[in-house]
Amino acid sequence: MQTLSIIPPQFPNLAPLSLPERLLLGPGPSNANPAVLEAMKTPPLGHLDPAFLGVMDEIQALLRYVWQTQNPLTIAVSGTGTAAMEATIANSIEPGDKVLIGVAGYFGNRLVDMAGRYGADVQTITKPWGQVFSLAELRAAMETHRPRILALVHAETSTGACQPMAGVGDLCREFDCLLLLDTVTSLGGAPVFLDEWGVDLAYSCSQKGLGCSPGASPFTMGDRAMEKLHQRNTKVANWYLDMNLLGKYWGSERVYHHTAPVNLYYALREALRLLAEEGIENSWRRHQQNVEYLWAGLEDMGLQLHVDREFRLPTLTTVKVPDGADSKAIARRLLDEFNIEIGGGLGELAGKVWRVGLMGFNSRKESVDRLLEALRQLLPGK
Ligand SMILES: *Cc1c(COP(=O)(O)O)cnc(C)c1O
């Protein structure tokens, strides 16, 4: 008989997991609410257990509330925000469709890359990182390109800017075009009115403004997007994210599609429950108050903010790195010496800004005080 040899473990005496406790004030993840982590410990149920299906129904109802939408197809995608992003693209685009994408930061570019992979004829409208599109600029681009879909990033996490949405939905209807919106860094922390804004497809994540762990991501599509889905000539090119199939698991048919990450759904349910208990408008107010407290503290230290006040996000602030300071070294010392994580700049803003997130559970005065105190020690002369 052939003898098979065992490959020995690489770490034979590995200790149980033990990691430092950090205050996560970067672009995400943010710290999950302790009650959310507690809920995640609940033993798993089968993904077709009636008790678990009840949890899924509650998640759907809670998501409609925090997004301010009545869309029946409002679900959590198993995966991070990028999976939910891909779900909007995969279900709305057919090869050859003209898609206009607003690019004013890193995540606009990710949408361009993704839409291209699904065969879209991608056109872009661009702005320097940190700025937003005016309605007139969007109208001019719509007139030039006449797209089937306009995709925008509401809260551009790479720049800290918030795209104004007034009038955009009407513009899209005038041009018979779907409106797709990234609300990853706004949902829960900044006002979002999906139905009033006329948004047809949107996605988010769990680990930013919702105060949850990553891995179960909000997705929604309205009637006009459903109609386009039903009129497709080609199958949705992504089996895992096909809403024709996922809708049957989340809807009344309850057809097996994939094994839901049940503990993450417990966590998301608890995070959303807490948000509903607080009241969504109170959460928006809390985020706004704490971020204004942060801005005032940073400006008191002589630091400058990258985005014009009118367009700043309540969830993510870009702070200019002062002349002569080493942005990476300071972020590293914040982590090593103070257990605080902040983010560096991406793309056009690499080395020029730090990114400070005050999202979900972390949008608290104590978080701001801890960060300001640490920065005072690390930035000489501040
Ligand atoms: C974080 C983020 C994403 C991606 O979400 P993941 O959960 O990291 O996959 C997409 N868009 C924006 C604007 C983001 O901030």
What are the pLDDT digits (tens) for 167-223? 999 999 999 999 999 999 999 999 999 999 999 999 999 999 999 999 999 999 999
Q: Across residues 304-313, what is the average pLDDT?
A: 98
Q: Atom 5 in ligand 1: which residue has the minimum CA distance? A: 81
pLDDT tens-digit series, residues 243-270: 999 999 999 999 999 999 999 999 999 9
Spatial distance between the Cα atoms of 117 and 42, rounded to a whole number of angstroms? 39
Q: Report pLDDT for 14.
A: 94
Ligand 1 within 6 A of 184 CB?
yes
| Percent of the chain with pLDDT strictly greater than 90 | 98
Q: In the structure, what pLDDT confidence band is assigned to residue 380 with cuts at 50, 70 and 90?
A: confident
Non-local (6+) Cβ contacts of 174 within 8 A are: none
Atom of ligand 1 nearest to the CA of 206: 7
For the record, the structure tokens of 215 come out as 């891995």
Question: Between the CA atoms of 185, 187, 193 and 197, what dihedral angle is there, to the nearest 10 degrees?
Answer: 30
pLDDT tens-digit series, residues 117-141: 999 999 999 999 999 999 999 999 9
Spatial distance between the Cα atoms of 356 and 333, rounded to a whole number of angstroms? 15
**Which residue ranges make up each domain of the chain?**
23-29+279-378, 34-276
Cα(341) to ligand 1 centroid in Å equals 17
Q: Report pLDDT for 12.
A: 87
> At residue 34, what is the residue type?
P
Ligand 1 within 6 A of 157 CB?
yes
CB 249 within 8 Å of CB 75: no
Fold of 34-276: Aspartate Aminotransferase; domain 2 (3.40.640)
Range 23-29+279-378 classified under CATH 3.90.1150.10: yes
Look at residue 281 and tell me whether its pLDDT is greater than 80: yes
Q: Decide: pTM greater than 0.95.
A: yes
Q: Report pLDDT for 2.
A: 80
Cα(233) to ligand 1 centroid in Å equals 30
Q: What is the mean pLDDT of the chain?
A: 97
